[in-house]
Amino acid sequence: MERLFLIFLAAFLINNILLIKFIGLCPFFGVSSRFETSIGMSMAVIFVMTLSSVACWGAWNFLLDPLGVGDFLYIPAFILIIASLVQFVEMVIRKVSPALFKAMGIYLPLITTNCAVLAAATESVKPGFWKLSLEYNYGLGEALVYTIGIAMGFSMVIIMFAAMRERIEIAPIPRSFKGLPIAFIAAGLSSLAFLGFKGLFGI
């Protein structure tokens, strides 16, 4: 239990995918200009990341790893799986719940091949992907907690950032800094602040 909590925290705060790993920056800046769209985007990201990580975990443990082809084939295989999964889910949602499709429909295809989703899938299958230590594999529970941590971290940061940008929009800032430039500066400062989580609980 404690281990799961630490995994969650590591994904959520300490290795935050947006502010520490700098992965998934295009939705981070593209969709964070309005509060509502950022919430829609985060919901879609949580949904897609969780689903795709579970699918990729399955593909790794039952197909790629037993065949011994995982080490060099995991990226194309995961892209294939994530893309078809999102397509499939989109079709199902469209048929089953048009309301949900309307709320999430725009964002689903946008994150089909998003790097953040791929990174979450890769990382939950091969932890320490960024450190290149591939000896240890997560179990399904751990992988799930890890992915949800990443997705929640993504959501928290993008929603927080959207709220910040809405305030920046009306703040008196020099003209040349208006819009994206000040957003980049704000993102840099937030990233510095998140560096403070490094070493929390010794992880």
Partner 1 sequence: MDTSIIIKAVLALGGAGLVLGALLAVASKIFHVEIDPKVELIREFLPGANCGACGYPGCDGLAEAIAKGEALSSACVAGGSEIAEQIAGIMGIDIKEEKVAKKALVCCGGGKNEVAHRYIYDGELDCRMAQQIGKGPSLCSYGCLGFGSCAAACPFGAIIMGEDGLPLIDWKKCCGCGVCVEICPRGIIALVSENEEVHVLCHSHDKGKTVRSICKKGCIGCKACEKVCEFDAIHVVDNLAVINHEKCTGCKNCVEKCPTNCITVLLESPHVHPKKQVVTKTVN
Q: How far is the CB of 127 from partner 1 (least distance, A)?
A: 22
Residue 119 touching partner 1 (CB under 8 A): no
- Report how far residue 154's alpha carbon sits from residue 141's, in angstroms, rounded to the nearest whole number: 20
Within 13 Å, how many C-alpha atoms sit on residue 141's CB side? 4
The least distance separating partner 1 from the CB of residue 63, rounded to whole angstroms, comes to 6
For the chain, helix, strand, coil in percent to 5 are 75, 0, 25
Could you please report the per-residue DSSP string of 106-123?
Answer: THHHHTTT-HHHHHHHHH
Cα 153 to Cα 19: distance, rounded to the nearest angstrom = 9
Stretch that binds partner 1, among 87-95, 122-130, 134-142, 186-194 (CB under 8 A): 87-95
Task: Please name the amino acid found at residue 61.
Answer: N
Per-residue x/- track, 10-29, partner 1 (CB under 8 A): --------------------
Q: CB of residue 64 vs partner 1: minimum separation in angstroms? A: 6
Residue among 34, 87, 181, 203 that touches partner 1 (CB under 8 A)? 87
Regarding 131 and contact with partner 1 (CB under 8 A), the answer is no
Minimum distance from residue 71 beta carbon to partner 1 (Å): 10
Amino acid residing at 62: F
DSSP string, 65-127: HHHT-HHHHHHHHHHHHHHHHHHHHHHHHHHH-HHHHHHHTTHHHHTTT-HHHHHHHHHHHST
In the complex, least distance from residue 66 CB atom to partner 1, rounded to whole angstroms: 10
- Within 54-73, which residues bind partner 1 (CB under 8 A)? 59, 63-64, 67-69, 72-73
- In the complex with partner 1, the residue whose CB is nearer, 39 or 73, is 73
Cα(13)–Cα(153) distance, rounded to whole angstroms? 6
Q: Of the two residues 66 and 141, which places its CB atom closer to partner 1 in the complex?
A: 66
Binding site for partner 1 (CB under 8 A): 59, 63-64, 67-69, 72-73, 76-77, 80-81, 84, 87-88, 91-92, 94-96, 106
